[in-house]
């Protein structure tokens, strides 16, 4: 089940950030701000399986551009459709918000994620050298969105 996140989800989202993103995880305070709704363009979604929070996505919509800032799924729930469901909800929200294009960054060395996005219509439009804390390159991917 995918739903909008609330401040009550903060500890679980912070744990997912740490587990999935390590040194690139957002600090707990920033996560709590986003969940509290104090970051104007940012929205959080969470995925639950049997009442357990197993994934989250963070997106921002500004004008005609949406950005998928985060998508993370607990390792034991990967390849089960959770990320696909989260992405589908992000796309729906972006379209509803008036976005015409969805952007994201993915680590160049994260072949599985790059394939996941390619299978869903994303194409590489740029590279950001030394984007991540460990110096890894980010691939900038984009996908056009259908009209609302």
Separation between Cα atoms, residue 55 and residue 73, nearest integer Å: 4
pTM of the model: 0.91
Please report how many Cα atoms fall inside a 13 Å half-sphere around the Cα of residue 103, on the Cβ side. Answer: 14
Asked whether residue 117 carries a pLDDT value surpassing 90, the answer given is yes
Q: Is 115 inside any structural domain?
A: no
Q: What's the average model confidence in pLDDT over 57-71?
A: 95
Count of domains in the chain? Answer: 1
Q: Is 50 inside any structural domain?
A: yes
Strand partners, 144: 101
Strand arrangement of the beta sheet that strand 101-107 belongs to: 2-4, 42-49, 52-62, 65-73, 101-107, 138-144, 123-128
Asked whether residue 148 carries a pLDDT value surpassing 80, the answer given is no
Q: What confidence score (pLDDT) does residue 147 get?
A: 81
Q: Is 25 inside any structural domain?
A: yes
Query: What is the share, in percent, of the chain residues with pLDDT greater than 70?
Result: 99
The angle that helices 10-21 and 28-36 make with each other, rounded to 10 degrees, is: 130
pLDDT digits (tens, 9 = 90+) for 65-103: 999 999 999 999 998 999 999 999 999 999 999 999 999
Q: What CATH number is attached to the domain comprising 65?
A: 3.40.630.30
Print the domain residue range for 94. Answer: 2-103
Q: What confidence score (pLDDT) does residue 54 get?
A: 96
Q: What confidence score (pLDDT) does residue 133 get?
A: 87
Q: Is 71 inside any structural domain?
A: yes
Residues 6+ apart with CB under 8 A from 95: 145, 146, 147, 148
Q: Is 146 inside any structural domain?
A: no
Q: Is 67 inside any structural domain?
A: yes
Q: Is 56 inside any structural domain?
A: yes
């Amino acid at each position: 089940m995918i739903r909008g996140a609330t401040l009550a989800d903060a500890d679980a989202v912070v744990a997912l950030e740490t587990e999935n993103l390590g040194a690139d995880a957002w600090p707990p305070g920033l996560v709590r701000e986003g969940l509290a709704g104090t970051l104007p363009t940012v929205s959080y979604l969470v995925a639950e399986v049997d009442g357990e929070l197993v994934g989250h996505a963070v997106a921002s919509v500004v004008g005609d551009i949406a950005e998928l800032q985060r998508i993370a799924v607990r390792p034991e729930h990967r390849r089960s459709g959770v990320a696909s469901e989260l992405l589908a909800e992000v796309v729906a929200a972006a379209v509803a918000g008036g976005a015409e294009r969805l952007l994201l960054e993915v680590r160049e060395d994260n072949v599985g994620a790059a394939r996941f996005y390619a299978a869903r219509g994303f194409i590489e439009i740029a590279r950001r050298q030394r984007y991540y804390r460990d110096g890894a390159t980010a691939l900038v991917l984009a996908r056009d969105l259908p009209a609302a």
